[in-house]
Amino acid sequence: MTTPTPAIPFTEPAPAQRLERAAAALTAHGFTVEILDDAAAARTRVKDLIPEGAGVFTAASETLRLSGINEDINTSGRYQAVKPRVRAMDRATCADDIRRLVSGPDVVVGSVAALTETGSLVVASASGSQLPAYAGGAARAIWIVGAQKVVPDLSTALRRLEDHVLPLESARAQVIYGQPSAVNSLLILNAEPRPGRGTVLLLREAIGF
The CATH superfamily of 16-203 is NagB/RpiA/CoA transferase-like (3.40.50.10420)
What is the tens place of the pLDDT at every residue in 27-82?
999 999 999 999 999 999 999 999 999 999 999 999 999 999 999 999 999 999 99
User: Per-residue confidence at 91, pLDDT binned at 50, 70, 90?
Assistant: confident
Q: Is the pLDDT of residue 7 over 80?
A: no
Which DSSP helix (H) or strand (E) runs through 11?
none
Q: Which 3 state secondary structure label does DSSP give 159?
A: helix
* Residue 134, pLDDT score: 98
What is the tens place of the pLDDT at every residue in 122-156?
999 999 999 999 999 999 999 999 999 999 999 99
Return the domain boundaries, the chain. 16-203
* Residue 9, pLDDT score: 75
CB-based contact 153:131 (threshold 8 Å): no
**DSSP labels for 53-92?**
T-EEEEPP-HHHHHHTHHHHHHHSSSSEEHHHHHHTS-TT
